[in-house]
Amino acid sequence: MRILIVEDSETISKILKHLIVQDLGYHVDIAPDMASALTLLEQHQYFVVVADLNLPDASNGDIVRLVLSAYKTPCIVLTSNLDADQRREILKLGIVDYIPKDNRYSYQYVVKLIDRLYRNQQVKVLVVDDSVVSRKFVRMLLEHHLFQVIEANDGEAALAILEQEDDIQLLITDYNMPIIDGVELILRVREKYNREDIAIIGLSNDNDESLSAKFIKNGANDFLQKPFVHEEFHCRVLNTLDSLDMMRNLWSKANRDYLTKIYTRLYFFSEHNSKDSENALLSVALLDLDYFKKINDTHGHDVGDQVLIEFAQRLDNAFGSNFTVARFGGEEFVVAFKGLDDIKTTTLMDKFREQCEANPMQTTAGDLVVTFSCGVATRNNETLDQTLQRADELLYQAKTAGRNQVIRAC
């Protein structure tokens, strides 16, 4: 990834380059004037250009206009002082943002913005508005920040798109729309998607002062009154996505095992311990690696970790797309087979056991054959804890019967 800084102050370009290389690891070129910037722009494809508005051989944003029109490259503008008219003019050009050069946090903001732009390329945003003009305006602002934009002209269409595209991260919806309004749409979306799944921003040009609270109380993360200025829109979108990232990180820390990245015990219980699922057919397979302590003792803890990671990956590849696979702790794993009885579960698990035995794991200590023992139990008018307790007893039987086997209740 290549960034171009066009700035006549050597101190500023050096600080910026240092921060970008240190935090993002990108390649950075520096041009002190427009002539050298043009030479570099002819030679390389840049992801973003960070440019000063006034240069020794160009003024009033000539460089910015050129970068945007001739090179179609996103541009972040560095400025000293801007009055209100200059600010409006510069924003109209279609820049990513302008950053005042007045303090060191400004430079950190530039780095943050470049990182965000890089990640935005993977972020899908659904814009819902029955006004084409409004929708296109929001699309344009989002595309300046490199988002992938999908449009819907009413709430029903938005719900259908959300069904098809399961990786939309941000929904931006207007309030006044035919059939269902923005608030009703948010209510429907929140029935299915949590705050770590999708973030929502409401928009409206309605003068009802209670509307922002109504949006937020019903599940929106933020609200913007139309007409809004570019900057406010971008700040709100970036803040909302930052909090979505934070929510996702927190969720992941609680629900994904730090070593193997498969689900934790906590997630396993939250998925399968509800009253609703009490009567559904469910079998659990409790697995424990055989003689795992010996691997740690012989080859070291790091190799033990490699085995745990590889085993979790194999288990997840085999069953993770249809069933819940979790690490219970240490070298113990569990799979919840919803809709399967213990006979089918045992057949699947036994096949997986044979594959594990037949395919040694590649580790830094060489190839290691790793086997596991397993107990399988089907829930039978009891709590999930009781089913797991029975699976644990069967697992113990598998261990004492010689290991490397799957046992179910007779």
Ligand X SMILES: Nc1nc2c(ncn2[C@@H]2O[C@H](COP(=O)(O)OP(=O)(O)OP(=O)(O)O)[C@@H](O)[C@H]2O)c(=O)[nH]1
User: For residues 361 and 367, is the Cβ–Cβ distance under 8 A?
Assistant: yes
The residue of the chain with the least Cβ separation from ligand X equals: 304
User: For residues 394 and 407, is the Cβ–Cβ distance under 8 A?
Assistant: yes
Least distance CB 300 / ligand X (angstroms): 8
Whichever of 46 and 292 has its CB closer to ligand X, that residue is 292
Least distance CB 325 / ligand X (angstroms): 17
Least distance CB 307 / ligand X (angstroms): 8
Whichever of 221 and 363 has its CB closer to ligand X, that residue is 363
Least distance CB 111 / ligand X (angstroms): 35
Least distance CB 374 / ligand X (angstroms): 12
Whichever of 169 and 404 has its CB closer to ligand X, that residue is 404
Whichever of 330 and 366 has its CB closer to ligand X, that residue is 330
Return the bridge partners of 284, or none: 336, 377
User: For residues 155 and 188, is the Cβ–Cβ distance under 8 A?
Assistant: yes
Whichever of 330 and 339 has its CB closer to ligand X, that residue is 330
Least distance CB 310 / ligand X (angstroms): 12
Q: How far apart are CA 81 and CA 269, in angstroms?
A: 57
Least distance CB 401 / ligand X (angstroms): 12
Positions touching ligand X (CB under 6 A) are 259, 288-294, 296, 301, 304-305, 308, 330-331, 399, 403
Whichever of 260 and 345 has its CB closer to ligand X, that residue is 260
Whichever of 339 and 360 has its CB closer to ligand X, that residue is 360
Q: How far apart are CA 128 and CA 173, in angstroms?
A: 5
